[in-house]
A and B are shown apart, each in its own frame.
Chain A
Amino acid sequence: MHLTRRDFLELAIVTGAYLSTNPVAALAKMKYEDIMRFKPVGNVTLIFTTDMHAHLDPLYFAEPMNLLAPKQLQGKPGYITGMDFLKYYKIAPGTLEAYFTSCVEFPKLAEKFGKMGGAEYIASVIKHIVEERGREKCLIMDGGDTWTTTAIGTFTEGKAVVDWMNYVGYDYFVAHWDFTFGKDIFLKRIEDLKKGGCEFITHNVVDELWGELVFKPYSIREVNGVKLGIIGSSFPYTPIANPRQFVEGWSFGIREDQLQQFVNELREQHKVDAVIFLTHNGLPLDLKIAEVVKGIDVIISGHTHDVTPQAVRVGKTLVVIAGSHGKFVGRLDLDIKNGRIRNYNFKLYPVASNLIPPDKGARKVVEKWRKQVADKYKLDEEIGVAEVMLYKRDTFFSTWDWLVGEAINDYYGGDLDVVHSPGYRWGTTVLPGQKITVNHVYDYTAITYPNVYVLKRTGKDLLNIWEDVADNVFNPDPFYQQGGDMTRIWNVEYEIEINGPQYKRIKRVWIGGKPLKENKEYLIAVYGGPPPPPDAIHPDYKPVPVYDILIDYIKKKKNINVRTKPNVKVLDAPYKTYDQCYKV
């Protein structure tokens, strides 16, 4: 339970809730039954999670203030945030739903409603739905980014999460970061899942040389008398966004022509009643898939961490995505008859850990691993206090990434001109006033290739890199985006026109307060991307895991207070800042 004294007083006086057994429920004016309320429809229920990022423990995770989009995509799901999001979906500010789906008043609401997600709470919600509906009517699916990027996920090589998935009884899985354990461990975990009855399906990974499928592309399953075809898609840009070495010999891609062939095959040869597409493509990309590929009934998307409180309709296709970090369990009830979806009902259940009873079996499965990892890596050690909210998600800037820049520069003796921090959309949120633990640091950085490298790059090289990333974020065609945010660039201020021409979006740049010079060499530090060639690494600066640098730095500084003002000026779109969402 996470309540401040002020909340308790407010609660006691206003609601008389001190008499209640669950004060959070009284404050939220919501109980477990309210969270679980759902009007069942039809004969099939799809239950799904995605992008848990191995968060087996509940956490705080704020939705972003900004999701800046090129003009062509503005205002579409996947690019709506904050108050605009609440208005778009008619959600009242200050409610549990607002807390889960927007950044508005996040620190205040976090004190009120507490932590989100967690293996034992997700398990409770899924089991509740399965019991209510009957197992024979349900399919349980996960959209990937599930096994790694926390201490418990990464240091058990995904085993802790796979054990939990098998306990819950997942049926289908697709992947992205999960590949970064490397092929051997990845294939082993796929086998572990298979023993638990969960199948890895992916149509868009082929042998690089021969172009032959590496995995089973789809599965045909009869669910409550309805014949379903389920096609899987893993993250199309895995070998580009993450080190190639982990998936050497495999080629990825969107492969929309091949997808169309599989859809046709399922419909014409196998006479399925409905085609489900389980993906780690990202919502904007999947919205375009729904336009260009004919015959898909439902797309269950993942990767971009978007939240769709209502299903998005594109032609005859329904597109849904269940957020990230274990915050939501998605449920889509379908009434399918004679190859047609006649009716549906959809809901994202907020996994409010203070309102949902924990599943004891799931707790047992996770606890064993948790204890091992917590002891070995001192996860619970308190190393500092956050004086501002530490968050990662935003299009350009975050307090966490600025802290990373400061810490890395400090570690290398203050010699650096620039630090790049990758624009992933995962991490955690540390509230203002909250103690920072070792575990928090791993929540932001626990990857299988954690080293920081120091290199020399000319001003021109740097501009090329930034323009390249900017095009992966702001290309108006989602098929050319990689679904992440802009690289965070410490010690640099710049102006950008997101609708500017390809590779000409960045306007003026200052490094350490001075205008960037194209032919000048700068000393930069990078991590979290494909590793630089060995001869590019500066011999005087040893590569070190980013989490080690951060743990030491936070211990040294104790009180963590970093700037909240972005270092980026957006010239052609409104860009919201910290005070508009997070100030208490």
Chain B
Amino acid sequence: MITRRDLFKVAGVGAVALVAAPGAVSQSFGAKPKKISIEDALKEHLGVGLSGLKESNLINVKAPTIAESGANVPVQVSANIPVDQVQALYIFADANFNPWITTVEFSPMNGEVFFATRIKLAKTSPVRAVIKMKDGSLLTASKEVKVTVGGCG
């Protein structure tokens, strides 16, 4: 089992290139922000929508079934695919205001396709991993994470 401490070691050595979601900063002032659909988010980052992705059981998305806090959901993606065939990993949360979470580019130096992080979930949503292969194909797997109201029931 890989612990978070191990992961930091790996990340330090293997130089995972990571582009984090810019969040609210990118919203232009004054304009009313609009919920971006998963379809639009996929098109923006990958050029195709859900129908352009192929479901794959080579990808394993590990996340809690019910989040302990929507503000801090541990997500771990690994794939049983040789790393030199992989260009990048994308993570989306379908129901988030802006579904795109992050893009991680891989190099053979990473050794394997493995990435763990914490994400924010606005509400119950599939957490979707998309792997862009070097041959251009797009593989996906997802796991539903439930965010419960809590605290006022």
**Residue on A nearest B67 in the bound complex, by CB:** A240
Residue A540, interface by CB 8 Å: no
Residue B1, interface by CB 8 Å: yes
Q: Say whether A480 contacts B66, CB under 8 Å.
A: yes
Residue A355, interface by CB 8 Å: no
Q: A479-B65, A480-B144 given as contacts; is B4 within 8 A of A536 (CB)?
A: no
Q: Say whether A468 contacts B66, CB under 8 Å.
A: no
Closest Cβ–Cβ distance, residue A372 to chain B (whole Å): 35
Q: Say whether B149 contacts A465, CB under 8 Å.
A: yes
Q: Mark B44-76, 1 if CB is under 8 A from A, else 0.
A: 000000000000000000101110110000100
**Residue on A nearest B62 in the bound complex, by CB:** A257
Chain B interface size, as a band, is 20 to 34
**Residue on B nearest A469 in the bound complex, by CB:** B153
Interface residues of A (CB under 8 A from B): 209-212, 237, 239-240, 244, 251-254, 257-258, 261, 420, 422, 455, 457, 461, 464-465, 468-469, 471-472, 475, 477, 479-480, 482, 487, 502-503, 526, 529-533, 536
Alpha-carbon distance between A529 and B151 when the two chains are bound, in angstroms? 7
**Residue on A nearest B63 in the bound complex, by CB:** A253
B106-144 residues with Cβ-Cβ distance < 8 A to A are 124, 144
Q: Say whether B68 contacts A239, CB under 8 Å.
A: yes
Interface residues of B (CB under 8 A from A): 1, 3-5, 62, 64-66, 68-69, 74, 124, 144, 146, 148-153
- 5 interchain residue pairs of minimum CB distance: A468-B149, A479-B65, A211-B4, A465-B153, A529-B153
Interchain CB contact (< 8 A) of A210 among B3, B62, B69, B144:
B3
Residues of B with C-beta under 8 A to A254: 64-65
Q: Say whether A480 contacts B65, CB under 8 Å.
A: yes
Q: Say whether A468 contacts B144, CB under 8 Å.
A: no
Closest Cβ–Cβ distance, residue A548 to chain B (whole Å): 22
Q: Say whether A210 contacts B152, CB under 8 Å.
A: no
Residues of B with C-beta under 8 A to A257: 62
**Residue on B nearest A464 in the bound complex, by CB:** B149
Residues of A with C-beta under 8 A to B65: 253-254, 477, 479-480
Residues of A with C-beta under 8 A to B146: 471, 475, 480
Q: Can you pick out 15 interface pairs between chain A and chain B where the beta carbons lie within 8 Å of each other?
A: A210-B3, A210-B4, A240-B148, A244-B68, A251-B74, A257-B62, A465-B153, A468-B153, A469-B153, A471-B146, A477-B65, A479-B65, A503-B124, A529-B150, A536-B152
- Most chain A beta-carbon neighbours within 10 Å: one of B144, B150, B152: B152
Q: Say whether A530 contacts B4, CB under 8 Å.
A: no
Q: A465-B149, A469-B153, A536-B152 given as contacts; is B68 within 8 A of A252 (CB)?
A: yes
Q: Say whether A532 contacts B150, CB under 8 Å.
A: no
Interchain CB contact (< 8 A) of A240 among B3, B5, B66:
B66
Q: A211-B4, A212-B3 given as contacts; is B153 within 8 A of A482 (CB)?
A: no
Q: Say whether B144 contacts A455, CB under 8 Å.
A: no
**Residue on B nearest A533 in the bound complex, by CB:** B151
Residues of B with C-beta under 8 A to A475: 146
**Residue on A nearest B151 in the bound complex, by CB:** A530
Alpha-carbon distance between A20 and B37 when the two chains are bound, in angstroms? 77
Q: A480-B66, A487-B153, A529-B153 given as contacts; is B1 within 8 A of A258 (CB)?
A: yes
Alpha-carbon distance between A253 and B3 when the two chains are bound, in angstroms? 16
Residues of A with C-beta under 8 A to B74: 211, 251
Residues of B with C-beta under 8 A to A209: 4
